[in-house]
Amino acid sequence: MKSKVNKLSWLFGALTLFQLIPLAAHAEEKPQEIRIGVSSAGAGGRPLAGGFPLATAHLHAVLEEEFKKDGIKIKWFFNMGAGPATNEQFANKLIDFGFHGDLPLIVGRSTGLKHKIIIGQGRFGEVTFVVPANSEAKTLADLKGKKIGVFKGTSGQLVLARLLERNGFTERDFKVVSLDTATIKASLATGDIDGAIVAPYDLVARGVAKVLLKIPRDPKLQGIVTLWVGEEFEKKYPDTVQRVVTTLVKEAQWDSEEKNRTELLQLWARQATDTYLDYVESWKSYKLKERNTPLLDEYYVSRLQSAVDETKHFKLIRHDVSLDGWIEPKYLNTALKELKLEHYWDEYDKDGNIKK
Amino acid sequence: MKGEFKLKASNRILALALFTYAGTSFGATPTTQELQQQIEELKSGVESLQQQVRAGKTAAPVAAATPDAAVTREDLDGLRSALENYKYDVQRLRDTKSPTTTRGTTISGTVQVRANSTTVPVTTGAATTQATPRYTSFDVPLANIAFAGNLFKDYGEGHNLDYKVGFGYAKAAATTTAAAATSVFNLQDAYVQYNLINPAVTGLEDPNLNLRLGQQVTAFGLEAQTTDELKPSINAAQFVAGLGVGTRQIGLILRGDYNPYVDYGFNYRAPLFEYAVGVVNGSGPNQSDNNSKKDYLARLAVTAPVDYTSWLRELKFGVSYQHGKKNILTGTSTTAVDGNSDRYGFDIYYNHLPFGGTYEYATGRDATFVANPSLAASASNIATTNTGNTGTIKSVGQTLTLFYTWGEQWLKSSNGNGVGKYDDWWPKTYQPFVRFDRWDPNTANTAATGANVSAKIDISTVGFNLFFAETTKFQINVNSYRYHNPVTPKNREVIAQFQFGF
């Protein structure tokens, strides 16, 4: 009898285990760490960034908090080499998520990097062309043949190309040299370059530079900013991707509340390449909600397509890039629904106007 | 502004009150007592308004002290004081504690500390007479220091005039009884370089062109030009010393590249052509030319013009040539005649993390006196007197190195120079490798025994490198020697080396 009971117990146990196997097979494996490449770093290589909700998420450590209970570490890479460095890391399988401006995002995609766009990280913003304080230039035309600084390979190069084209010029009309943002500011102060697109306010306050041209609002001049996830990671850990996106949407909401403006800009200024004054002045004509939206709306898609076309037009890529299958909005949509924020941010049309 | 606004509103209230009083006074004739009371009320109203005005004036500095407004006098004084202290401290430290130079200078150096063990006794590097055979030793095979910088820095176009001067330690020659207990300090690099085109300043898509005058490493192959920081193996390929292509020379070399392929998405630059042409003494470092002829050298390398993500990234083919003149000595006699000393090389380089490999083929043609010019310059045909006949010794070396690397040591984006960090961080990198190195000093010596016995040597190496700081690595190599001369037994050595740079 005892042996029969034993046998039944074994049978029952085996059946139970057998039933559990499919469940275990469906439970998502969790990564040990989440590696995020940020195409920005603070002055002097400080591991800090500012100007977009992902930077605030790092400063608030919200992702660390979200994944603490699972023992998943968040590993940040703040890249002094900006977008191109983030591409290099992803090509060498060192990061799972990447934060990019439009040009390096597109160039990386054109050379075969496999990632999915999952959430927006910013849009709009003023464009200011700055010259040394003693410059005699009154217009861009006065700078023909002179030296203009830009961080090549970053979205800034595309903004410069758009600005020059609108004024009837190309890069070839100037001597365009590649410098990072901190060096551009230093070079304007010493007069080693004759102009650049850069946040001007601290330079102007110090009396070392002046604004030649300022375009406060032009939805077709600035590019969109993006967070993507590697396709391999996304396929393997979709639940983790969802939690990352949901956490970042929550953060974007905090970043969009006007009552947080002062605290937000002070947090961002900790990276010190752009000062608090730069942030206050350059963001004052925008609502936080406008710029910190995570939406992948009509405006986002249209700007990305335009950036692809422009990148080809300016001969900055050698291969075609298609948007088909590149943007994956399901994580964002789920997050918005879960957080009941479907109507929190305005949707914009392709021209940058609020959709009615 | 708020204070002013309140005041204006108060004024309106006051006007309204006066108007009301005026209205009531027209309605009925007040008594003296009532008038007195009204005057008192009006007085207290005016006093109240005056207080509000005063409060409005004093409220402004309080508002100014908030974080988003102007700083207070105390804040400013504190900042000024802190700046003065800082300026004083910097100046004092600079005057008393800091080395200074007349021009911007970078000081660098490399030191190697080594332990080795062999299966055959060794006598080199110590007293040539030893009571017991030596199988193990600790050594400092390398210690050097260099100073480099700009004599003139052109911020605009990058036409910098650069310099470098470096010194290296070497053991003094051993004697029969005394170990090499002393060392000498030799001049190694000593040159000035003018940058005609400098893509580091003008942009990656521009070519590179510079002219270097002085004592310098020549432009032959891969390994002869590579610094110790980057070499995977501890010992250099045998042909480097055998052909003398690693020897520094004094002269003028033009180096440059042309048509770079730039992938800005990754800040990757691959020049389609790299070239070098030069004229040097050919007599080695720290001496004048030893004959009336100069040596000429040239190198051309082609790199695959592909995107960063391509599997062909960093695939490079190179050819090198040196045409030299040497003194053909008749034994130890000072009498000599000029003879050719030419070097030819071919190399392949591939480095696509984590896989990498190099292959080099190098051959030399050196004139020598021979007894019979119609025969190859084998050992038995080489003459120690001036026979009036010259032949050519052909020597050949080949080296194949394959390595696998994991870690971010060489990734610009991800090493300590590319990723923002607060501390002195550097990614650990691991690199196992294998190498096969063959050297035949005279291909005419092919016999199994006798005078023309082959002097060919094969060295197979298995090694491992651990990089754990920006300029520091630990290396371990196991070298197996196989001699084609059957008299010389095979042997094996283990070398463990710690190399640090600064």
* Per-residue model confidence as pLDDT tens digits over A131-154: 999 999 999 999 999 999 999 989
Task: Answer yes or no: do A157 and B264 touch at CB < 8 A.
Answer: yes
Show residues of chain B in contact with A103, CB under 8 Å.
265
Residue-level pLDDT at B433: 98
Pairing type for strands B355-369 and B336-352 reads antiparallel
Q: How confident is the model at residue A356 (pLDDT cuts 50, 70, 90)?
A: confident
pLDDT band at B245 (very low <50, low <70, confident <90, very high): very high
Give B414's contacts in chain A (Cβ within 8 Å): 77, 85, 88-89, 92, 94
pLDDT band at B49 (very low <50, low <70, confident <90, very high): low
Residue B176 has pLDDT above 80, yes or no: no
Q: Is B223 left (phi over 0), alpha (psi -120 to 50) or beta?
A: alpha
B265, A78: Cβ pair inside 8 Å?
no
Measured in degrees and rounded to the nearest 5, phi and psi for residue A24 equal -65, -40
Best interface-test mutation with A: which of B267, B351, B429 has the largest number of A CBs within 10 A? Answer: B267
Quote the distance between the C-alpha of residue B262 and its chain's center. 21
C-alpha separations of B355 from B318, B348, B384 in Å: 19, 14, 49
Give the closest residue to A312 by CA, choosing from A85, A100, A102: A102
What residues does each domain of chain B span?
2-66, 94-501
Average pLDDT for B411-416: 86
What are the chain B neighbours of A39 within 8 Å (beta carbons)? Answer: none
As a whole-number percent, the residues of chain B with pLDDT over 70 amount to 84
Cα–Cα distance for residue pair B87/B70, rounded to 1 Å? 25
In this prediction, residue B15 carries a pLDDT of 46
Task: Give the CATH number of domain B94-501.
Answer: 2.40.160.10
How high is the pLDDT of residue B204? 86
Q: For B350-407, how does the pLDDT look when each residue is reduced to its tens digit (9 = 90+)?
A: 999 899 999 999 999 999 999 999 999 999 999 888 888 999 999 999 999 999 999 9
Amino acid sitting at position A139: T
- pLDDT tens-place string over residues A221-275: 999 999 999 999 999 999 999 999 999 999 999 999 999 999 999 999 999 888 9
Name the residue facing B308 among A80, A111, A147 (closest C-beta).
A111
Res. B19: pLDDT tops 50: no
Using one digit for the tens of pLDDT, what is the confidence trace for B306-349? Answer: 999 999 999 999 999 999 999 887 766 656 788 999 999 999 99
Residue A171 has pLDDT above 70, yes or no: yes
B385 reaches A (C-beta below 8 A)? no
> Would the CB atoms of B419 and A108 count as touching at under 8 Å?
no
d(CA A182, CA A82): 12
Tokens 């993500």 — which residue?
B309
Write the single-letter amino acid at B404: Y
Residue B63 has pLDDT above 50, yes or no: no
CB pair distance less than 8 Å for B414 and A77: yes
How many residue pairs from chains A and B have C-beta atoms closer than 8 A? 110
DSSP state at residue A270: G
pLDDT of res. B424: 84
- Return d(Cα B39, Cα B31) in angstroms, integer: 12
pLDDT number for residue B28 = 45
- Which pLDDT score, from 0 to 100, does residue B21 have? 43
Residue B323 CA to residue B366 CA, distance in Å, equals 10
Smallest CA–CA distance, residue A63 to chain B, in Å, is 19
Domain layout of chain A by residue ranges: 33-123+223-338, 127-215
Torsion angle, alpha carbons of B80, B82, B84, B89, to 10 = -170
A30 touches B at CB < 8 Å: no
The whole-chain average pLDDT of chain B stands at 86
What are the CA-CA distances from residue A55 to residues A222, A270, B72, B115 (Å)? 19, 11, 31, 49
Indicate whether B40 pLDDT > 80: no
Compute the distance between CA of residue A55 and CA of residue A57 in angstroms, rounded to an integer.
5
d(CA B314, CA B356): 9
CA–CA–CA angle A304, A305, A310 (5° rounding): 95
Nearest to A56 by CA among A264, A227, A245, A296: A264
Which tokens is A337 given?
Answer: 């629904």
pLDDT at A3 over 70: no
Give per-residue pLDDT as tens, B194-224.
Answer: 999 998 887 888 999 999 999 999 999 999 9
AA letter at B366 = D
- A270 touching B, CB under 8 A? no
Mapped onto helix, strand or coil, the DSSP state of residue A78 is strand
pLDDT band at B5 (very low <50, low <70, confident <90, very high): very low
Which whole-number Å values give the CA distances from B129 to A53, A60, B87, B123, in the listed order? 74, 71, 63, 8
Instruction: Flag whether pLDDT at B495 surpasses 90.
Output: yes
Q: What is the pLDDT of residue A332?
A: 98
Strand A115-122 relative to strand B105-118: parallel, antiparallel, unpaired?
A: unpaired
- In this predicted model, what pLDDT tens digit does every residue of B123-140 receive, in sequence order? 766 666 777 888 999 999
Identify from B68, B306, B419, B429 which residue to disrupt to test chain A contact, counting A C-beta atoms within 10 A and taking the largest count: B419
> Is B336 exposed, middle or buried (CB count within 10 Å of its CB: 0-12, 13-18, 19+)?
middle
The answer to whether the CB atoms of B265 and A85 lie below 8 A apart is no
Classify residue A340 by its DSSP letter.
Answer: T
Q: Which of A117-131, B40-54, B143-157, B422-436 has the lowest mean pLDDT?
A: B40-54
Distance CA B367, CA B377 (A): 9
Q: Are A33-123+223-338 and A127-215 equal in CATH topology?
A: yes
pLDDT band at A285 (very low <50, low <70, confident <90, very high): very high
Contacts of B420 in chain A (CB under 8 A): 41-42, 45-48, 78-80
Question: Is there a contact between B419 and A79 if contact means CB atoms under 8 Å apart?
Answer: yes
Q: For chain A, what percentages of helix, strand and coil (3-state, to nearest 5) are there?
A: 50, 15, 35
**CATH class of domain segment(s) A127-215:** alpha beta
pLDDT at B60: 40
pLDDT score of B200? 84
Question: What is the reported pLDDT for B265?
Answer: 87
Q: Looking at residue B170, what is its pLDDT?
A: 82
Q: Does the pLDDT value for residue B463 go beyond 90? A: yes
* Predicted local confidence at residue B44, as pLDDT: 67
Decide if A265 contacts A276 (C-beta within 8 A).
Answer: yes
Q: Tokens 């000072």 appear where? A: B334
Give the mean pLDDT of A106-130: 96
- Is pLDDT of A24 > 50? no
pLDDT of residue A258: 97
d(CA B363, CA B368): 16
CB nearest to B155's CB, from A91, A111, A192: A192
Task: Kindly tell me if the per-residue pLDDT of B45 is higher than 70.
Answer: no
Tokens of A169: 């010029």
Q: Do A89 and B414 touch (CB under 8 A)?
A: yes
Instruction: Verify whether the Cβ–Cβ distance A108 to B265 is below 8 Å.
Output: yes
Confidence band, pLDDT 50/70/90 cuts, at residue A76: very high
Q: Which of B153, B159, B266 to mutate to test the interface with A (most CBs of A within 10 A)?
A: B266
Mean pLDDT estimate for chain A: 92
Give the C-alpha separation, B382 to B373, whole Å. Answer: 10
Fold of A33-123+223-338: D-Maltodextrin-Binding Protein; domain 2 (3.40.190)
C-alpha B317/C-alpha B292 separation (Å) is 34
Cα separation, B185 vs B190, whole angstroms: 14
Cβ of residue A173 closer than 8 Å to a chain B Cβ: no
Residue B116 pLDDT > 80, yes or no? yes
Residue B286: band (very low, low, confident or very high) from pLDDT cuts 50, 70, 90: very high
